[in-house]
């Protein structure tokens, strides 16, 4: 399976799991000049920006390498772009999650990182 298909399938699986746990997916593949956010969801009064990582060869303990400071910054800047375009969500709390999809498991890391000032 090529990398694009694996990524898309992983995002679909992540979206399904998040919806099963009560989140509502409101957007996918949000792109800006800064980067991309895989999924955007609502969790009650919180807007959640989700990075999906589908890795076959690496364990969850290596996520810090997959979602390093540079990647986190791109996600945060894209989230800001999204919020500037969708002002109806501006009064909500913001959360950044990661869904890790390994060969035998799916882990949802809520509040995986925050924006630092």
How far, in Å, CA of 117 to CA of 101, rounded?
30
CA-nearest of 33, 29, 110, 115 to 69 is 115
The whole-model pTM stands at 0.88
SS3 content of the chain, % helix, strand, coil (to 5): 40, 35, 25
| Per-residue pLDDT at 56 | 65
CATH 3.40.1350.10 correct for 3-113: yes
Which positions ≥6 away from 59 have C-beta within 8 Å? 102
Q: For residue 6, which phi and psi values (nearest 5 degrees)?
A: -60, -40
- The predicted-structure confidence for 19-34, as pLDDT tens digits, reads as follows 999 999 999 999 999 9
Residue 78 banded pLDDT, cuts 50, 70, 90 = very high
């Amino acid at each position: 399976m090529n990398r694009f298909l694996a990524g898309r399938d992983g995002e679909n699986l992540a979206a399904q799991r998040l919806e099963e746990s009560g989140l509502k997916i409101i957007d996918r593949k949000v792109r800006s000049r800064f980067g991309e956010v895989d999924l955007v969801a609502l969790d009650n009064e919180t807007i959640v920006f989700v990075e999906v990582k589908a890795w076959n060869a690496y364990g969850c303990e290596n996520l810090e390498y997959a979602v390093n400071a540079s990647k986190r910054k791109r996600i945060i800047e894209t989230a800001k772009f999204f919020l500037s375009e969708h002002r109806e969500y501006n009064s909500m709390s913001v959360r950044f999650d990661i869904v890790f999809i390994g060969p035998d498991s799916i882990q949802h890391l809520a509040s995986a990182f925050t924006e630092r000032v």
